[in-house]
Amino acid sequence: MSDCASIWRRYDADERRLTGAVSERMLDLGLLRPGMQVLDIATGRGEPAIRAAKRVAPNGAVLGVDVAAELLAMAAERAADEDVTGLELRVADAHSLEGVPRGRFDVALARWGLMYFDDPIAALDSIRLALRPGGRLVAAFWAEPELVDYIHVPRSALASLMALPPIDEDVPGTFRYAHRERIERDLASVGFLVNHVEERWTPVMEASTDDELIAWTRSFGMQRLLVDLPDPMQRAWERRLIETAEPLWKDGRLRLGGVTRLVVADRPG
Ligand SMILES: C[S@@+](CC[C@H](N)C(=O)[O-])C[C@H]1O[C@@H](n2cnc3c(N)ncnc32)[C@H](O)[C@@H]1O
């Protein structure tokens, strides 16, 4: 099993519980109902595809695609556990969506996926072509870095100890679409019409001890920045992280998350 898959096995159930409301809201914005054909881009461990399949049952269908076969295997296990029908999971690159029917889907979903692609405009164009005329894309992005605690808090703890490279919003990563104008521009460039944007705060991690906070943070977001640091610096960062997060604890529990931006765009009919 790859490192990425073993990390996800550890945190999957928690993340599903914490972020489920975002997926459900995406399905509301997509106006999902029984009988619809839905495409979930970069579905990973099956979000929001598995929930979508429940909404479009009994006669609708969902196709979830991702490049990571190991994550799709986790999605398939969950779908089987939840007795989900009408869901196909397929390895496919969102840039070309090779083999995915064109003009078929009523709704395309992409939760926290597009910003990680090498060429998101190519992917957006492929998604548009997969939709039927009048079809709708609902996508989720992370907002500006200072609104995204799960990265901002551990990063600022490290930034208080050493100079950090600035976040590069021009390369694939969490913040590529942190600015609303960027995604609106790229959607328009391939012919989508943006009809709704909203923001909501969502938790992505929950800790009940400092060790849990450190372990989660090392797994998500900080791996690359920490990997080459000498041990004393790592320990200093851990202490600083605990201090920085201290005011955020409530009732013996710490949640970190961020503002996620949900964007709805239509393929003109
Ligand atoms: C942050 S995860 C989001 C997964 C899921 N949608 C969710 O919300 O839990 C990003 C996903 O994008 C997938 N991905 C990255 N590049 C891709 C590409 N070119 N085509 C399809 N999927 C891709 C990754 O494998 C990963 O599963």
Q: Report the 10 Å Cβ neighbour count for 45.
A: 25
pLDDT at 152: 94
Assess whether pLDDT exceeds 90 at residue 225: no
- By the 10 Å C-beta count (0-12 exposed, 13-18 middle, 19+ buried), 72 is classed as buried
Assess whether pLDDT exceeds 90 at residue 237: yes
Residues 225-236, mean pLDDT to the nearest whole number: 89
Considering the entire predicted model, what is its pTM? 0.96
Of 44 and 10, the structure prediction assigns the larger pLDDT to 44
CA distance 84 to 53: 7
pLDDT at 1: 60
Distance 193 CA to ligand 1 centre (A): 24
Ligand 1 close to Cβ of residue 47 (< 6 A): yes
* Cα 202 to Cα 15, 160, 209, 224, 248, distances in angstroms: 10, 26, 20, 24, 14
pLDDT in tens, 61-80: 999 999 999 999 999 999 99
What residue's CA is closest to ligand 1, atom 26?
44
Q: Report the 10 Å Cβ neighbour count for 161.
A: 13
- By the 10 Å C-beta count (0-12 exposed, 13-18 middle, 19+ buried), 211 is classed as exposed
pLDDT at 223: 75
Assess whether pLDDT exceeds 70 at residue 21: yes
Mutate to test the pocket of ligand 1, among 14, 27, 67 (most ligand atoms within 8 A of CB): 67
What total of structural domains would you count in the chain? Answer: 1
CA distance 77 to 88: 12
239-261: b (≥16 Cβ within 10 Å) or e = ebbeebbeeeeeeeebbbbbbbb
Nearest Cα neighbor of 205 from 195, 192, 214, 196 is: 214
Containing structural domain, residue 146: 3-266
Average pLDDT, the chain: 95
Assess whether pLDDT exceeds 80 at residue 3: no
CA distance 23 to 50: 10
pLDDT in tens, 252-266: 999 999 999 999 999
Reported as a pLDDT band with limits 50, 70 and 90, residue 5 is: confident
pLDDT at 226: 83
Say which amino acid occupies 13: A
CA distance 103 to 47: 23
What percentage of the chain exceeds 90 in pLDDT?
91
pLDDT in tens, 210-220: 999 999 999 88
Per the CB < 8 A criterion, the answer to whether 91 and 118 are in contact is no
Mutate to test the pocket of ligand 1, among 78, 109, 117, 171 (most ligand atoms within 8 A of CB): 117
Looking at residue 196, which CATH number applies to its domain?
3.40.50.150
Residue 181 corresponds to which tokens in the numbers above? 């104008």
What residue's CA is closest to ligand 1, atom 1?
112
pLDDT at 17: 97
